[in-house]
Structure 1
Amino acid sequence: MSSEILSVLEYMEKEKGISRADMISAIVNAIKTAALKGVNSGQEIKIEINPKNGQLKAWSVLKVVDSVSNPRAEIHIEKAQSLKPGAVMGELIEKEIDPATLGRIAAQTARQAVMQKLRQFEKDRIYDDFKDMVGNIVTGTVRRKERNDIFVDLGKAEALLPGKEQVPGEEYQAGDRIRCLLTSIDSSPRGPEIILSRASPKFVRRLFEVEVTEISDGTVKIEAFAREPGYRTKIAVSTKDPKVDPVGACVGARGARVKTIVRELNGEKIDIIKHYADVKEMTKEALKPAEPKDIILDEKNHRIVVKVIPDQLAVAIGKGGKNVRLTSRLLGWRLEVEELKVVSSDPREVALSSMVTTLGIDRPTAERLFGIGINSPAAFEGVELNDLQEAGFSEEEAQALLARIVR
């Protein structure tokens, strides 16, 4: 048995990183507990394991008495003195026993208890190894996929990438290398559960801190950050150093830095903008390439109304309203985009619109009249039925038009 114990001690110390002293304590407590539940119940037992050779020794702790009523806990004084000369009444002495007498059931129970203790040691070690890595990026290998969840091998432990923390459109197979943000270590009945994320805005923030030295050393500061995973990320940066361009620092020479991050995000778009203290200026920057024609601030309700021309409306809102939501989160204001009614400065358009409105006719009719020189209601003066018919209008159409003028 000593060789088995020694093998366990050496394996756990070298492979699992569990100290020999902790292992010995666990094994001793397990064997003692198991023995007291078996054939040795009612006894007080002392157990020691030699850390060098794994040898196990056991003793029964007995009280010296002159009349034995419980042989499992007491020893007669004459027998006690033969084991320990000078033993006196009431003294506790140790009588060595054969470890085999602890029983087969005790040994099996002890083995189970030892394995349980080992699992607890491993759980504690996993927590200690990863607790300081929360908020950092870790690299692992995809082990398997169950439903929407991905299990990732981090070397010393297995981590979970839940479906809600994955980026829409990304697919991974067993064996793929993957980088994620370690967001938390949750307690569960099975031990510490390491939770990962690729959808969190903090993942992209950490990528910038890793790739951009000016951010990691504090020269450039990330003032605001917003992300729609798989679609777009907007980041607002600033600096107090007049010699540093905060946007250029994040982009890198020929876009090298931001390209590295975009590749990691599988093509997700990234907008890096300069941060402005002025909300209107910040709104203009955040909405690019859309160009607001008017920005109205409702400070009481913390609301911004942005007006854009019709051609810019779709650009400002974005697919499924994502750009508005993203910009709203970046600014920290509720954002509403409205279409600006454009009044044409083209004289022909103005005249046509006037004809349609004043006469209550459709635009094609107005354009036909415009073609024969009638560009306003006043231009009908002197126009007769025959004139309109010669211009291609039917008799009914001509009468209806003249009736509108008379009216």
Structure 2
Amino acid sequence: MNRELFDAMNYLEKEKGINKDILMEALEAALISAYKKNFKSATNVRVDINEEAGSMGVFAQKEIVEEVVDHQQQMSLEEAHHINPSYEVGDVVEVEVTPKDFGRIAAQAAKQVVTQRVREAERGIIFNEYIDREDDIMNGTIQRMDGRFIYVNLGKVEAKLPESECMPTETYQVHDRIKVYVTKVENSNKGPNIFVSRTHPGLLKRLFEMEVPEIFDGTVEVKSVAREAGDRSKISVHAEDPEIDPVGSCVGQKGQRVQTIVDELKGEKIDIVEWSEDPVVYVSNALSPSKVVKVLVDEEEKATTVIVPDYQLSLAIGKRGQNARLAAKLTGWKIDIKSESEAREEGMISEEQADESLEGLEYEDDSLDFEESYENMDEDLFK
């Protein structure tokens, strides 16, 4: 039996990736427990497992004393000298106490511990594999659904897609293949719990990394993402090299790169804006597609007042305040939007400043790239 057991352990290590040393330690502990239980022994014992010889032995550990009180845990100095004359009082002697029918007990204990440890080790391997995938995209297949979760098969484990993390514009069917963003990996007694999302801003960031080589290799950096899943998102990008156009890199030729992401997100509109360390420029860019006359910055409160032309006020605010809300999330600045006429009434800008700003806007409009402006256009605003 012993030889077969060792062969089984070698197989598990090779095929399942379970460390044989862990199995050996667990087996030793199980054999000690089985010995004490079956032979009603309170003695400290050690199990010696010799893989080369294919044998197992049980050794009781006894302390050498001058006067023996407990024969199970103690040994007289005279008895000890029969084993080795060099023993002294206080030393610990090991005596083999392997029972004749210990093989049967060992087989039962081995079966239990190997089964248990195989399950634990497999769960640990899966957990270690997927913990490294937190904050990453994975492909999966929808297996089943209940009232709380959609269960997505990721290969070795089922992930849970909560209803709150589903995009409102999507319908899900069993056997559908979907991309999901891994938000959390937890270990439990029943195995790893993996939670995924379709609405997390990180999903958008990872999709851009997959579609835009300049982001993947670090030439272009994603600075921030603001998302209202299924409806509209904003993403800010930056390139250290002034020769590289970060927005153009993300849009791609004829909008092909961003369109692939839009298709994956079932038509979710995406505004790509250039990041700037200057809050005036950054907030102005973030409010795209609207144009900005002036940005007043309160550094202490991290707040801005943005003045836009009267005819662009509704565009700057967006449907139900969405454009302004996403711009604030993207930049991390509070944004209060005022029309040009309102700002003049409150003395925030003069007539001359407004005229100068509008002249600059007219020039800027003439220089806009059609493909870039088209991607940022909200068709609903022009119906």
TM-score (norm 1): 0.68
Shift of 1:278: 4.3
> Which stretch has the larger CA shift, 307-316 or 16-25?
307-316
Aligned to 1:179: 179
- Residue 273, structure 1, aligned to residue 273, structure 2: yes
Aligned to 2:251: 251
Aligned to 2:328: 328
Describe the superposition over 1:347-400 as per-residue Cα deviations: whole angstroms up to 9, x where unpaired.
xxxxxxxxxxxxxxxxxxxxxxxxxxxxxxxxxxxxxxxxxxxxxxxxxxxxxx
- What one-letter code is carried by the residue in structure 1 that aligns with 2:93? L
3-state DSSP class of the match of 2:41? Answer: coil
Structure 1's 288 and 66: CA in aligned 2 closer, same or farther, altered over 3 A? Answer: closer
| Equivalence map 1:112-127=2 (5 Å) | 112-127=112-127
- What one-letter code is carried by the residue in structure 2 that aligns with 1:195? F
3-state DSSP class of the match of 1:270? Answer: strand
| Equivalence map 1:4-403=2 (5 Å) | 5-6=5-6, 8-51=8-51, 55-61=54-60, 63=62, 72-73=72-73, 92-95=93-96, 97-98=98-99, 100-101=101-102, 111-190=111-190, 192-292=192-292, 295-307=295-307, 312-338=312-338
Shift of 1:245: 1.8
Return the alpha-carbon distance in structure 1 between the equivalents of residues 275 and 79 of structure 2.
90
- What one-letter code is carried by the residue in structure 2 that aligns with 1:238? H
> Which stretch has the larger CA shift, 59-68 or 25-34?
59-68
Structure 1's 115 and 321: CA in aligned 2 closer, same or farther, altered over 3 A? Answer: farther
Describe the superposition over 1:160-197 as per-residue Cα deviations: whole angstroms up to 9, x where unpaired.
33344333333433433332333343344545433333
Return the alpha-carbon distance in structure 2 between the equivalents of residues 89 and 287 of structure 1.
86
Structure 1's 145 and 87: CA in aligned 2 closer, same or farther, altered over 3 A? Answer: farther
Shift of 1:321: 2.3
Structure 1's 341 and 67: CA in aligned 2 closer, same or farther, altered over 3 A? Answer: closer
TM-score (norm 2): 0.71
Gaps of 5+ in 2: 343-383
3-state DSSP class of the match of 1:97? Answer: coil
Shift of 1:111: 4.7
- Give the structure with higher Rg (CA): 1
Contact kept in structure 1, 2:46 and 2:61, CA below 8 Å:
no
Return the alpha-carbon distance in structure 1 between the equivalents of residues 55 and 181 of structure 2.
47
Return the alpha-carbon distance in structure 2 between the equivalents of residues 174 and 50 of structure 1.
52
Return the alpha-carbon distance in structure 1 between the equivalents of residues 66 and 303 of structure 2.
92
Shift of 1:327: 1.0
3-state DSSP class of the match of 2:12? Answer: helix
Return the alpha-carbon distance in structure 2 between the equivalents of residues 143 and 68 of structure 1.
67
Return the alpha-carbon distance in structure 2 between the equivalents of residues 270 and 224 of structure 1.
13
Shift of 1:249: 1.0
Structure 1's 37 and 238: CA in aligned 2 closer, same or farther, altered over 3 A? Answer: same
Return the alpha-carbon distance in structure 1 between the equivalents of residues 320 and 2 of structure 2.
69
Return the alpha-carbon distance in structure 2 between the equivalents of residues 138 and 341 of structure 1.
50
Return the alpha-carbon distance in structure 2 between the equivalents of residues 117 and 96 of structure 1.
27
Structure 1's 173 and 100: CA in aligned 2 closer, same or farther, altered over 3 A? Answer: farther
CA RMSD of aligned residues (A): 3.9
Shift of 1:95: 2.6
Contact kept in structure 1, 2:169 and 2:266, CA below 8 Å:
no
Aligned to 2:362: none
3-state DSSP class of the match of 1:266? Answer: coil
Return the alpha-carbon distance in structure 2 between the equivalents of residues 85 and 309 of structure 1.
101
Return the alpha-carbon distance in structure 1 between the equivalents of residues 19 and 277 of structure 2.
56
Structure 1's 297 and 61: CA in aligned 2 closer, same or farther, altered over 3 A? Answer: closer
Return the alpha-carbon distance in structure 2 between the equivalents of residues 65 and 300 of structure 1.
78
Gaps of 5+ in 1: 343-407
> Which stretch has the larger CA shift, 142-151 or 262-271?
142-151
Identity of aligned residues (%): 37
Describe the superposition over 1:222-260 as per-residue Cα deviations: whole angstroms up to 9, x where unpaired.
333322222222122232333322211111222222122
Return the alpha-carbon distance in structure 2 between the equivalents of residues 112 and 251 of structure 1.
59
Higher relative contact order (CA 8 A, sep 6+): 2
Return the alpha-carbon distance in structure 1 between the equivalents of residues 153 and 251 of structure 2.
32
Aligned to 1:361: none
> Which stretch has the larger CA shift, 18-27 or 255-264?
255-264
Contact kept in structure 2, 1:165 and 1:197, CA below 8 Å:
yes
